[in-house]
Amino acid sequence: MQDKLNSIPVRKTQWKFHGGLKLAGHKKQSMQTGIATAIVPEQLIIPLQQHIGRPAKPVITIGDKVLKGQCIATLKDPTSITAAIHAPSSGEVIAIETHAIPSMNRQTANCIIIKTDGEDRWLPSIKPVDNPTSLSSDTLKQLIIEAGIVGLGGAGFPTHLKLTAETKPLDTLIINAAECEPYITCDAVLIEEQADKIIQGIQIILHTIGIQHCLIGIEDDKPQAIQALQKALATINNHTIQLIQIPTRYPAGGEKQLIQVLTGKEVPLNKLPHDIGIVCHNIATVHAVTEAIKEGKPLIERVVTVTGDKLQQPKNMRVLIGTPMQDVLNECGYTESNDQSLIMGGPMMGIHLDSADYPVIKTTNCILVRKKQKQPVALPCIRCGECARVCPANLLPQQLYWYTRAKDLDRVQDYQIFSCIECGCCDYVCPSHIPLVQFYRYAKTEIWTQEADRKKSDHARERHEYRQFRLERKKAEDAERKAKKKALLNKKQGIKTPEQDSKKAAIEAALKRVKERQSEQAAIAKNTEGLTDEQQKKIDEVEQRRKNKLQKEKLNTKLEDN
């Protein structure tokens, strides 16, 4: 065995990404024991949307009895950005109603509520396949769709949409096992316990995409997980899957950062990994793929790290999707109190929750309970540039902040705000304790809203123009009908008409009128310099209203305006 182990080399990477942070790991506390299985709760709250995209469509109704693994919500067609959802345990659907879901701004969303019957009876909805590589790519993809698998690393992008080349042929599969955020260990323990399934999953995905080459990126602070993967790799004797050890540096698990660290390639600005032939999947996702295909188990549970200094028994747990966080926390020695904060995800990018009354969803990798941090008063930016030094997107956070405060959203875009991955590195180092990421989120939303407003008005104009066109056409048709009638009448009376194809002519004339008007309008729209005073005034007013609205939007900070 030892020899075999040695034959699977762990390569160290030669590349790195700009900036980043060396953070205290806090990982040991949740790794004392193996993965525990959480108790089936009395009630499961299952949001119809646990992924990026559109909510799934329920296929059950209130009062239905459901079995574990039964599909309860599905997607309309396989190209839509959504994912199927399954009953995590057997029981009865008692409601389909809105419930608070874990999100940045305390959203509520439609959820299927299942009262469990405690029997955990199973409905084998997917047929297990022993030898997945004997199946066609399309069949596998269909199975993955049916299993409702989404990216389990955090974003929750439906997995089946990342199994085909879109613009360029794919050549490399990257498996993200970096797990760079402090506290979170669910991927590491999953690797330690299920390395074989992970490697099988990688093979399935490689086969589905139709490529050979795979890089697994893992941070070097997880020697046990690395060893487990080495062992699993040794048994399959496949040298196109490479294990690469990367330095522990936050945010090495950011998709674009990981790609850079593993391949030295930068995903071009405003492009996606598949534009350079790369596709990334999280290691837990890969595990879910194996379970779905080889065991016929849809995505109804996941491993969640439940940890933090405020928990008596931090650990990793296999939790059914939809389990209330309160139930999970109760199993880890949680007591409610005011001096602690509850976070879904890690301390750097996680979402603060106001209570434990939220369900665990497909993207819940961690529930963190920490002592409440004293929030220091934000002081002015002193332009020290520390933020720029650590920014993995190589931005100038201080300038983004400056122009966001000045509400100069054009400049904010010049400084590439949409490249910001909201990793919080800048926040972390800022000596003035400015909540920078909050400003960037605000700026992004603001820009989107403006864009949407503009689109709306464009849309309205189009609608108006179309209406004009319709009216004109109708007029033409009426005229033509009249002419025809007249012609008919004339014919009867023996008079010849000079114009037989008056219909065509009338329509053409109408079209011409519409076109003329359109070009007139376009000229006005383009020619902002030649505006009359009145027009300019109107535009200014609109602009001012928009600005006022912006001003009203109070930035969420104690920093006073100077």
Partner 1 sequence: MMEMTAPGSITRIMLHVLYALIPGIIAYVIFFGWGVVINIIIAVITALTVEVVMLLLRKRPIKPYIMDGSAVVTAVLLALALPNLAPWWLIFIGVSFAIIVGKHLYGGLGYNPFNPAMIGYALLLISFPLEMTIWLQPDNTLSFAQSLNYALFSTLNNIDIDAMTMATTLDTVKTQSGLGQSFAAIQASAPAVFGQFAGKGWEWINLAFLLGGLWLLYRRVISWQIPVAFIGSIFIMSLLFYPFTETSPIYHLFGGATMLCAFFIATDPVTASTTPTGRLIYAAGIGVFAYIIRMWGGYPDGIAFGVLLMNMAAPTIDYYTRPKAFGEST
Cα–Cα distance, 62 to 56 (Å, whole number): 16
Is residue 394 part of the contact set for partner 1 (CB under 8 A)?
yes
Q: Locate tokens 């209203």: which residue?
A: 545
Return the number of the residue (286 or 434) whose C-beta is nearest ligand SF4: 434
DSSP annotation string for 141-207 = HHHHHHTT-B--SSS--BGGGGSS-SSS---EEEEEE---STT--HHHHHHHHHHHHHHHHHHHHHH
With CB under 5 to 8 Å by kind, the binding choice for 389 among partner 1, ligand SF4, none is partner 1
φ and ψ of 292, to 5 deg = -70, -45
Is residue 406 part of the contact set for partner 1 (CB under 8 A)?
no
Alpha carbon of 65 to those of 89, 115, 121, 459: distances in Å?
11, 9, 11, 45
Strands 65-66 and 91-100: antiparallel
Return the number of the residue (181 or 386) whose C-beta is nearest ligand SF4: 386
Return the number of the residue (112 or 434) whose C-beta is nearest ligand SF4: 434
Return the number of the residue (401 or 403) whose C-beta is nearest ligand SF4: 401
Q: Please give the residues from 249 up to 268 whose contact with partner 1 meets the rule CB under 8 A.
A: 256, 265-268
With CB under 5 to 8 Å by kind, the binding choice for 422 among partner 1, ligand SF4, none is ligand SF4
Return the number of the residue (18 or 517) whose C-beta is nearest partner 1: 18
With CB under 5 to 8 Å by kind, the binding choice for 373 among ligand SF4, partner 1, none is partner 1
Q: Locate tokens 């602009």: which residue?
A: 543
With CB under 5 to 8 Å by kind, the binding choice for 467 among ligand SF4, partner 1, none is none
Return the number of the residue (86 or 249) whose C-beta is nearest partner 1: 249
Alpha carbon of 222 to those of 138, 189, 316, 330, 459: distances in Å?
35, 10, 16, 28, 53
Strands 213-219 and 172-177: parallel
Is residue 386 part of the contact set for partner 1 (CB under 8 A)?
yes
Sign of CA dihedral 465, 470, 472, 473: positive
With CB under 5 to 8 Å by kind, the binding choice for 423 among partner 1, ligand SF4, none is ligand SF4
CB of 256 to ligand SF4, least distance (A): 10
Per-residue contact flags (x/-) with partner 1 for residues 127 to 146, judged by CB under 8 A: --------------------
Is residue 484 part of the contact set for partner 1 (CB under 8 A)?
no
Return the number of the residue (56 or 381) whose C-beta is nearest partner 1: 381
**Degrees to nearest 5, angle at CA 552 with 548 and 555:** 130
Return the number of the residue (150 or 381) whose C-beta is nearest partner 1: 381
Contact of 277 with 172, CB cutoff 8 Å: yes
Contact of 306 with 30, CB cutoff 8 Å: yes
Q: Which residues pair with 344 in a beta bridge?
A: 351, 367
**Degrees to nearest 5, angle at CA 525 with 524 and 526:** 95
Candidate segments 187-195, 389-397, 457-465, 512-520, binder of partner 1 by CB under 8 A: 389-397
Contact of 309 with 332, CB cutoff 8 Å: no
Is residue 89 part of the contact set for partner 1 (CB under 8 A)?
no
Q: What does the DSSP 8-state code read for residue 419?
A: G
With CB under 5 to 8 Å by kind, the binding choice for 376 among ligand SF4, partner 1, none is partner 1
CB of 269 to partner 1, least distance (A): 4
Is residue 384 part of the contact set for partner 1 (CB under 8 A)?
yes
With CB under 5 to 8 Å by kind, the binding choice for 203 among partner 1, ligand SF4, none is none
Contacts of residue 483, defined as CB under 8 A and 6 or more positions apart, other chains included, come to 497, 499, 502, 503, 506
Six-digit token pair at 530?
A: 């030649």
Is residue 56 part of the contact set for partner 1 (CB under 8 A)?
no
Q: How many CA atoms lie within 13 A of 281 on its CB side?
A: 28
Cα–Cα distance, 144 to 3 (Å, whole number): 36
Six-digit token pair at 481?
A: 């009908």
Six-digit token pair at 433?
A: 């304790």
Is residue 373 part of the contact set for partner 1 (CB under 8 A)?
yes
Residue from 211, 392, 423, 472 in contact with partner 1 (CB under 8 A): 392
Six-digit token pair at 99?
A: 């419930």
φ and ψ of 49, to 5 deg = -125, 110
Q: How many CA atoms lie within 13 A of 545 on its CB side?
A: 6
With CB under 5 to 8 Å by kind, the binding choice for 347 among partner 1, ligand SF4, none is partner 1
CB of 84 to ligand SF4, least distance (A): 33
Is residue 272 part of the contact set for partner 1 (CB under 8 A)?
no
Can the peptide bond before residue 273 be classed as cis, meaning omega within 30 degrees of 0? Answer: no
With CB under 5 to 8 Å by kind, the binding choice for 401 among ligand SF4, partner 1, none is ligand SF4
CB of 394 to ligand SF4, least distance (A): 8
Per-residue contact flags (x/-) with partner 1 for residues 10 to 49, judged by CB under 8 A: --------x----xx-------------------------
Contact of 318 with 300, CB cutoff 8 Å: no
* Residues near ligand SF4, by CB under 6 A: 381-387, 391-393, 395, 397-398, 401, 420-426, 429-432, 434, 436-437, 440
Amino acid, single-letter form, for residue 532: T
Is residue 269 part of the contact set for partner 1 (CB under 8 A)?
yes
With CB under 5 to 8 Å by kind, the binding choice for 348 among ligand SF4, partner 1, none is partner 1
Contact of 172 with 211, CB cutoff 8 Å: yes
With CB under 5 to 8 Å by kind, the binding choice for 426 among ligand SF4, partner 1, none is ligand SF4
Return the number of the residue (62 or 382) whose C-beta is nearest ligand SF4: 382
Cα–Cα distance, 476 to 121 (Å, whole number): 68
- How many residues sit in the footprint of partner 1 (CB under 8 A)? 56
Contact residues toward partner 1 (CB under 8 A) are 18, 23-24, 182, 256, 265-271, 341, 343, 347-348, 350, 352, 368, 370, 373, 375-377, 379-386, 388-389, 392-396, 398-399, 415-416, 419, 424, 427-433, 435, 437, 560, 562
